[in-house]
Chains A and B, each alone.
Chain A
Amino acid sequence: MAVSGVHQRTACSACHGDRGQRLADPAAASNGAAGCVACHAGHNGIFLQGMTTRSAEKNFVAQTFSRVDPDFFAKNCSSCHVSSCTDCHGGNGHKLARPALESCHRCHKGYFIGADFFGRAPREDSLRYQRGDLIEGEAYLKMTPDVHFEAGMSCGDCHSMTSLAAGRKTAKSCRDCHTPDLKILEHRIGAHLEKLECYACHSAWGAQEYGTFYLRLEESASKENFRLRGNSGSEYLKSAYLKRQNAPPLGLNNAGRVSPIRPQFITFYTHTSKDQLVGEENQLLAAQWKAFFPHTIRRGTVLCRECHESPQRFLLEKPEARIYLPDVDGLALPSFWNRQGQQLGNGRFFPAERFESMSRHPAYLKGAVEKWNNLIKRVEVSSGD
């Protein structure tokens, strides 16, 4: 057996143990990666955090889909979890290496944070939109990538092994490396620096899925009629009422700071058996939002009015301003962009009165005029125009 990489000169027994306690798979979560932690002490902490335990996902499913299908998690969510050090450090244990970007992308794909870092947003589920290159089985729209990706950085540069093993999401936050430039108008506004996450403005876009439908079509011929991706094998089909990839709505995260939020998830469930409906159709199981960090950082930001004068970005859409009318089609939510009937799991929705005051504040208007004027002045008008 040839071993390559940094472990080239490591004795077999260093990982696999001696005869007394031989380890067939020294990196497995099941034995706490006993063969690895002898040297890499503490790294077995990775098996106690979310990527291994999937506790957040399990909790969500327990409160939602398990009510209608006790085996939902096993059927739909089992593919992505860490079960061994080799999941990320090289599929072959004899060729261990630092995780490549693609290693993270293997699970952090589709709607989950990670794909966005490369400039990829999930396409619609209809086969008509499933086009272009498939990456880990997912089709993506091309978006602007994160500046850190453009600069050649990889996930591990912020998400160090130590931090992950310690159960922290990241080793570094924005301000560990960056200091806001106070020459920038927006940075001079005190409330912005005090109350906003940097990525509330600098996330150029965020994948958003409005109305995640799980269709459980047991022995139902109707399944062929849906023409959705993944239309084979499992009894489940997944679809979405609408996907967006623009600047996501904003709310307050657990730290009380303004942060991007997105549905994770607003779920609906339809169950048929032999083409007969079982239970309530299009049943709303959750209208849950999550404060999140889209990995879509750009130098540029949206313009002032996109937050200050956009009630729908704070889930304050008025009934007459709606474009989509899900309630007319029988769904239990009249608007995805109105907080009524919805929850934010890791924070709270932005207080309506704060929105009212911030968008009418005289200082805001003056700042917005200055900002806008600066932009207009830069528009080059040639003599031919």
Chain B
Amino acid sequence: MIYFTAEVRHPVRIGRSPEFMEKIQVTPAQTTHFTGDYPKCLSAKAGRVALALLVIFLLLTGCDNASYRSPDATCIGCHQGLEPASKSHSGCVSCHGGDGTLQDKDASHRKMYGPKNPSDPRHWEKTCGACHQHQLERIRASLMYTNTGMIKNIQQTWEGEDGVLYASRPEKTFDDTGKPLQLRGVTELDNLSGELYRKFCALCHVGLASYDVWSGSHGAGCSACHFPTNENATYQGGDPTVKGKWPHSASHQMATLPDNTVCVRCHNRSGRIAFSYQGLNDGNNAMVPTLDGQPGPRIASGARNLTSIPPDIHFSKGMDCIDCHTSRDIMGDGHTYENLYLQVEIACEDCHGSVSERPRLEAILRENEDALRESRSYAEPTHPGMQMVLTSKGRKYSNVFWDEAQEKIFVRGKRSGKLHESKVITGTPEHTIVGHQRMECYACHSRTVVQCYGCHTRYDQGKMGMDYIKGYQTPGAFSESEDYRTLYPFPLALNQRGRISTVTPGCQTFVTVTDPAGEKISDGYVSRFKGKNQLRFAPFFSHNTGPKAIGCGECHGNPAFLGFGQHVTTAADIEATLLCERSGIRPLDGFMVMEQGKVRSFSAITRDESRPLNAAEIRKVWQANLCLGCHADPKDPIYQKELDYGQLESCLRRPGAASAPRPGAGG
């Protein structure tokens, strides 16, 4: 551990004298290698240890050398007041390149990486990656950088897959089994899917800088998360030469542990979980209530306004995005996954327990474990010997642990240091209801689920559109209009785990393509998915967890929750009232109808093994509502075994039946 404390800071701070470098014959990258948190350092071979000791020795004896001239001298001369990136990243040219010994600004800046952003993927191997190779290899394979899942899903819903995996840039990575994988660059995808990705979606991947988006700007590469921007990507720090300038990060101080605003920069569209989590509703873009006579109350990019809804309970308790999401969720674990749900390694059950299994624990036994390494920058570090909770992939959380004395699970706020007790639900009667074994926690515990219905996409071949990946405009421009958004009620269906999950439109795309002459080539085309021209819903966790579960009667007694949309019923019909404009009977805000007792679904649920509930399942769900009128308490013992509906008649005949006071209905 000694390499990682005081000693290693010296090379970073003062070990930049060219003479010094020459003397000890190590490159700056090699020197700083020892400062990094790359685990290979921990398992360094003996030779490397010896080299490190030599460095330390030389430093201790040579650091006051009078001939020493800082390689950053002229940088510091001009950039007075620029905040150091961090304690361990206090130099200039070691990250930015350039020549800090030259007086002339242009000459000194000439060979800089970037010049503004050395973490840009064009440079990151030589800059950040030179020390943080482990992190670089992970992020290069991860979905936030490759967007492989996004591109694949767009393909699935437009032209269909072509057996090739694409990424924002061509990359050689490893698949989830560790086999080498070649990801093709998305510029090769020469169809509408490729066009849509490059012109509509590409701005939100960490490989690309996006500085023109109000409240949605970020740098490219590592800086996307670790050097956050403010709302309009202008520098607000202490260096007067850069103050107020665009495009820059808000400060030169590195965000080792990015706060929620960093996540909002990208996770604010489509599922927009970063908004829902904080209790912000990107609803109807009505721009009211106004704020100082301008659109309000809060403004997001793309002429959207945000109003207030109850935030996620975890947010209310002061938890950040990164308090649940591990660095492997966000930066990847070195493997390339083909979908978000495969990369994310966490689940509610990890901390709260499942119906039958309490959270799994494992002690930190070795001092080079990820959990320890990662927690070094936390407000309160994790210690060897602590019993850590395991993620769904069986790896240790770095901030969730079992407190032996209190016999409780706690989550430690990585930034705040605050402790949050995580209540374990295993074995509690409201969670052991027979028939609920297949539920995702958030099927009941979501307070709202963002739903956008009817996405009408136009692709106009007669207009130029910015291709963000190619970096220039090409023929073909997209535009969108929309039908309807809502938060509640929300539909449920089976997800890829065969569990009942909240779902949201993903997507209900109607594509109109016009040729350069303005003639429509397709008009409101619904693409093929799983062999049929059909709209799609996607399993989705909205990140708007309520303090309590929604009432039992909601799912069991309101057909909207099973996908019927808003509706009226007759004896054997459930008739949609808000309709798809292409149909006389199909709901816009759902995927089911019942006609004369026949249940039909006409939208796919994306992902393998996913589907709407079938008639037998629907009837079973609804049957439970026969009991809920009297037995409203989910802890009621009758729910601990299969319900016997044969009892219903005698139940209702009992004196005093159906007169017990019931808790107030939900909603």
Residues of A within 8 A of B (CB): 119, 121, 123-132, 141-144, 204-205, 211, 213, 215, 217, 220, 222, 225-228, 239-243, 245-247, 268, 270, 272, 275-277, 281-282, 296, 298-303, 305-306, 309-312, 317-318, 320-326, 328-331, 359-360, 362, 365-366, 368-369, 372-376, 378-382, 384-385
Contacts and interface: CB of A to CB of B under 8 A. Distances in A.
Nearest to A185: B571
B293 A125 contact: no
B300 to A, nearest CB: 13
A301 B569 contact: yes
Contact of A321 (B288, B303, B481, B667): B667
Contact of A379 (B287, B570, B576, B599): B599
Interface string B328-353: 00000000000000000000000000
B310 A323 contact: yes
Given A310-B667, A366-B658, A143 B579 contact: yes
Contact of A282 (B288, B570, B588): B288
Given A275-B293, A372-B622, A242 B284 contact: yes
Given A241-B307, A302-B568, 4 more contacts: A247-B568, A309-B553, A376-B623, A380-B599
B290 A281 contact: yes
Interface string B279-300: 1010111111111111111000
Given A128-B481, A380-B597, A239 B286 contact: yes
A227 B287 contact: yes
A281 B566 contact: no
Nearest to B625: A372
A369 B652 contact: yes
Please list the 9 inter-chain residue pairs (A to B) with the smallest Cβ-Cβ separation, ordered nearest first: A300-B568, A309-B665, A365-B658, A378-B572, A126-B285, A272-B293, A385-B616, A328-B308, A378-B597
Contacts of B320: none
A358 to B, nearest CB: 12
Contacts of B285: 124, 126, 128-129, 227
Contact of B481 (A131, A143, A246, A309): A131
Q: Which residue among B447, B570, B658 has the maximum number of chain A CB atoms within 10 Å of its CB? A: B658
Contact of A300 (B303, B480, B569): B569
Contacts of B102: none
A300 B557 contact: no
B107 interface: no
8 contacts: A142-B578, A204-B575, A222-B294, A277-B293, A300-B568, A379-B599, A380-B597, A380-B615
Interface in B387-418: none
Contacts of B293: 217, 220, 222, 270, 272, 275-277, 281
B626 A369 contact: yes
Contacts of B310: 322-323, 325
Where chain B touches its partner, the secondary structure class is loop
Given A305-B665, A376-B619, A299 B288 contact: no
A360 B662 contact: yes
Contacts of B24: none
Contacts of A228: 286-287
B297 A329 contact: yes
Given A128-B481, A329-B308, A381 B287 contact: no
B288 A213 contact: yes
Given A311-B667, A379-B619, A362 B657 contact: yes
A239 B288 CA distance: 7
B581 interface: yes
B614 interface: yes
Nearest to B629: A365
Contact of A323 (B294, B303, B447, B648): B447
Given A129-B482, A142-B588, A368-B629, A245 B308 contact: no
Interface of B: 279, 281, 283-297, 303, 307-310, 447-448, 456, 480-484, 487-488, 547, 553, 557-559, 566-581, 588, 594, 596-599, 614-619, 622-623, 625-626, 629-630, 648, 652, 657-659, 661-662, 664-667
A205 B659 CA distance: 31
Contacts, number: 246
B553 A305 contact: yes
A309 B665 CA distance: 5
B576 A282 contact: no
B558 A305 contact: yes
A340 B450 CA distance: 28
B391 to A, nearest CB: 31
Contacts of A310: 665, 667
B614 A385 contact: yes
Q: Which residue among B284, B579, B648 has the maximum number of chain A CB atoms within 10 Å of its CB? A: B284
B570 A300 contact: yes
A195 to B, nearest CB: 20
B355 to A, nearest CB: 25
B571 A375 contact: yes
Contacts of A205: 566, 577-578
B553 to A, nearest CB: 6
Nearest to A226: B287
Contacts of A317: 667
Given A365-B629, A366-B658, A241 B289 contact: yes
Given A217-B293, A325-B309, A376-B623, A211 B481 contact: no
A262 B175 CA distance: 56
A311 B667 CA distance: 8
Nearest to B297: A329
B578 A141 contact: yes
A325 B448 CA distance: 13
A126 B284 contact: yes
Contact of B618 (A132, A306, A379): A379
Contacts of A268: 288-289
A302 B575 CA distance: 10
B549 to A, nearest CB: 13
A124 to B, nearest CB: 4
A215 B448 CA distance: 30
Contacts of A373: 626, 648
Contacts of A365: 629-630, 658-659
B622 A375 contact: yes
Contact of B487 (A245, A306, A323): A323
Nearest to B645: A373
Contacts of A298: 568, 575, 577
B619 A381 contact: yes
A246 B630 CA distance: 28
